[in-house]
């Protein structure tokens, strides 16, 4: 039995016309003798009646403080509605299909409501249905904890569901269908001439996804990578092959623009971060600790205790500088003030990441990046690099211009 997992995102499911195109993809796979598992997100985007954000907004009208357990039940409904409608659509075209919820599909998670981790998949039930020649439709984004509680996997969690099922079932491939033609060198909404990447490594894509390219969830890439199950990101609305994520170069692609050859794979960005600076000299430190390493430890321990994750850390003799997600900035500043520091917070920044396995071998990348930004009048607030990534922090207002400038400079376009 050759198994194929096909995941369809919300934008591919927002109308019956689109759902018929989805069904067509499933029909094609069944026609090629695949046993198919379909994973669906909730239908549409915020504002659409059964989209996840719409369901959340219903709860928010009741109270800003929402019980996590019941919130998970509420949020998981969107995918169940979507899966039920998909089963009906497939049946209307003559396919035998069955809905299995996350629990029925054997997706076992830890108990962290709202952000659960998949611990294992018990695939027996799915396999039994596949053997009976049924298409299994599973709502993504949900699972069940070991004590029987319904859990959700966090935003973008349907990608993770699909990857976990693909690995557990020994699928030939995991296909992520979406509203763009594949993974591109930058978000096509930001960069008009962004180019589709035909073949990319798991590492590059996991890195891009971690840095904010929301086309696929980083966990999904990491799970698929563990067992080398190929991932394909492609459009629901065309027949183009999209992007293959793999570590082995297919014969057909040798000599082309492939894994390993490329210096820079793409650009991703994270808007809405706040830069925090704490001066360690000049009398502003009244925290009572005068040993600098101890001061740094105190600052970062304070953040960790409050569950605030920090990024883009730069420690210098006279200053500690780091970023936090915008929504945590106020709390971070308050903690620092309570410790006796006088922090400065710069809101509305964006972190831009230039990602590529070949960066290490390319001298002068940082100079080129900073030069490109300067040429177009973008102010660099902070920068850093590693062998696979160059990061710059800019004002959010200049984010798009900065991404476009770097895309041009490194000739990533069509």
Sign of CA dihedral 292, 394, 366, 356: positive
Q: How many residues touch Mg ion (CB under 5 A)?
A: 1
Minimum distance between the CB of residue 202 and ligand ADP, rounded to whole angstroms? 15
Minimum distance between the CB of residue 271 and ligand ADP, rounded to whole angstroms? 12
Question: With binding defined as CB under 6 A, does residue 175 bind ligand ADP?
Answer: no
Q: Are 385 and 399 in contact (CB under 8 A)?
A: no
Rounded Cα distance, 344 and 342, in Å = 7
Rounded Cα distance, 268 and 138, in Å = 30
Number of Cβ atoms within 10 Å of the Cβ of 357: 20
Burial of 191 (0-12, 13-18, 19+ CB in 10 A): buried
Q: Toward Mg ion, which CB reaches closer, 3 or 40?
A: 40
Q: Are 140 and 39 in contact (CB under 8 A)?
A: yes
CB-closest chain residue to ligand ADP: 9
Minimum distance between the CB of residue 106 and Mg ion, rounded to whole angstroms? 23
Rounded Cα distance, 37 and 32, in Å = 14
Structure tokens at 334: 């308050």
Q: b vs e for 138-161, b when ≥16 Cβ sit within 10 Å of the residue's Cβ? A: bbbbbbbbeeebbbbbeebbbbbb
Q: Which of 5, 6, 9, 25 binds ligand ADP (CB under 6 A)?
A: 9
Question: With binding defined as CB under 6 A, does residue 11 bind ligand ADP?
Answer: yes
Q: x/- binding map, residues 319-338, to Mg ion, per CB under 5 A? A: --------------------
Question: With binding defined as CB under 6 A, does residue 139 bind ligand ADP?
Answer: no
Q: Which of 189, 283, 288, 317 binds ligand ADP (CB under 6 A)?
A: 189
Q: x/- binding map, residues 8-27, to Mg ion, per CB under 5 A? A: -x------------------
Nearest Cα to Cα of residue 48 among 10, 7, 8, 87: 10
Strands 35-40 and 118-121, how do they pair? unpaired
Q: Which of 4, 5, 10, 303 binds ligand ADP (CB under 6 A)?
A: 10
Q: How many residues touch ligand ADP (CB under 6 A)?
A: 18
What phi, psi does 405 have (nearest 5°)? -65, -45
Minimum distance between the CB of residue 117 and ligand ADP, rounded to whole angstroms? 20
Minimum distance between the CB of residue 11 and ligand ADP, rounded to whole angstroms? 4
Q: Which of 80, 174, 215, 405 binds ligand ADP (CB under 6 A)?
A: 215
User: With CB under 5 A as the contact rule, which of the stretches 4-12, 132-140, 292-300, 325-333 interacts with Mg ion?
Assistant: 4-12
First to last CA, the chain: 40
Minimum distance between the CB of residue 342 and ligand ADP, rounded to whole angstroms? 38
Minimum distance between the CB of residue 40 and ligand ADP, rounded to whole angstroms? 10
User: With CB under 6 A as the contact rule, which of the stretches 23-31, 54-62, 211-219, 247-255 interacts with ligand ADP?
Assistant: 211-219
Strands 231-235 and 173-178, how do they pair? parallel
Residues 23-52 that bind ligand ADP (CB under 6 A): 41
Minimum distance between the CB of residue 411 and ligand ADP, rounded to whole angstroms? 16
Residues 239-278 that bind ligand ADP (CB under 6 A): 266
User: With CB under 6 A as the contact rule, which of the stretches 78-86, 187-195, 376-384, 406-414 interacts with ligand ADP?
Assistant: 187-195
Label each residue of 147-210 as H, E or C: CCCEEECCCCHHHHHHHHHHHHCCCCEEEEEECCCCCECCCCCCCCCCCECCEECHHHHHHHHH
Looking at the DSSP bridge assignments, the partners of residue 389 are: 355
Question: With binding defined as CB under 6 A, does residue 206 bind ligand ADP?
Answer: no
Give residues with Cβ within 8 angstroms of 128, minimum separation 6: none
Given the rule CB under 6 A, which residues bind ligand ADP? 9-12, 41, 178-180, 183-184, 186-189, 213-215, 266
Given the rule CB under 5 A, which residues bind Mg ion? 9
């Amino acid at each position: 039995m050759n198994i194929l997992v096909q995941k369809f995102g919300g934008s591919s499911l927002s109308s019956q016309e689109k759902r018929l195109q989805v069904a067509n993809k499933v029909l094609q796979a069944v026609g090629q003798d695949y046993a198919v598992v379909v994973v669906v997100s909730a239908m549409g985007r915020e504002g659409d009646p059964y989209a996840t954000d719409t369901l959340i907004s219903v709860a928010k009208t009741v109270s800003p403080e929402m019980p996590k357990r019941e919130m998970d039940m509420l949020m998981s409904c969107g995918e169940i509605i979507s899966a039920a409608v998909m089963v009906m659509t497939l049946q209307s075209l003559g396919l035998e299909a069955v809905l299995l919820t996350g629990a029925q599909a054997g997706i076992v998670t830890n108990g962290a409501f709202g952000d659960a981790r998949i611990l294992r998949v018990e695939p027996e039930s799915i396999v039994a249905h596949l053997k009976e020649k049924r298409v299994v439709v599973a709502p993504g984004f949900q699972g069940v904890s070991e004590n029987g509680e319904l859990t959700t996997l966090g935003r973008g969690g349907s990608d993770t569901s699909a990857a976990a099922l693909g690995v557990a079932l020994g699928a030939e491939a995991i296909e992520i269908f979406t509203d763009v033609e594949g993974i591109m060198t930058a978000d096509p909404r930001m960069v008009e001439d962004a180019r589709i990447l035909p073949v990319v490594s798991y590492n590059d894509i996991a890195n891009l996804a971690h840095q904010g390219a929301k086309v696929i969830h980083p966990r999904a890439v990491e799970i698929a990578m563990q067992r080398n199950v190929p991932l394909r990101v492609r459009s629901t609305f065309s027949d183009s092959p999209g992007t293959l994520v793999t570590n082995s170069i297919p014969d057909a692609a040798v000599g082309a623009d492939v894994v390993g050859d490329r210096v820079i794979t793409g650009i991703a960005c994270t808007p809405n971060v706040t830069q925090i600076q704490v001066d360690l000299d000049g009398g502003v430190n009244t925290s009572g600790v005068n040993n600098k390493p101890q001061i740094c430890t105190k600052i970062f321990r304070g953040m960790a205790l409050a569950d605030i994750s920090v990024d883009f850390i730069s420690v210098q003799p006279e200053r500690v500088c780091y970023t936090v997600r915008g929504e945590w900035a106020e709390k971070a500043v308050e903690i620092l003030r309570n410790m006796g520091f006088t922090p400065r917070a710069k809101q509305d920044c964006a972190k831009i990441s230039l990602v590529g396995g070949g960066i290490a071998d390319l001298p002068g990348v940082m100079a080129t990046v900073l030069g490109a930004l300067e040429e177009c009048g973008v102010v660099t607030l902070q920068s850093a690099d590693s062998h696979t990534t160059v990061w710059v922090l800019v004002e959010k207002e200049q984010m798009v211009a900065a991404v476009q400038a770097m895309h041009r400079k490194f000739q990533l376009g069509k």
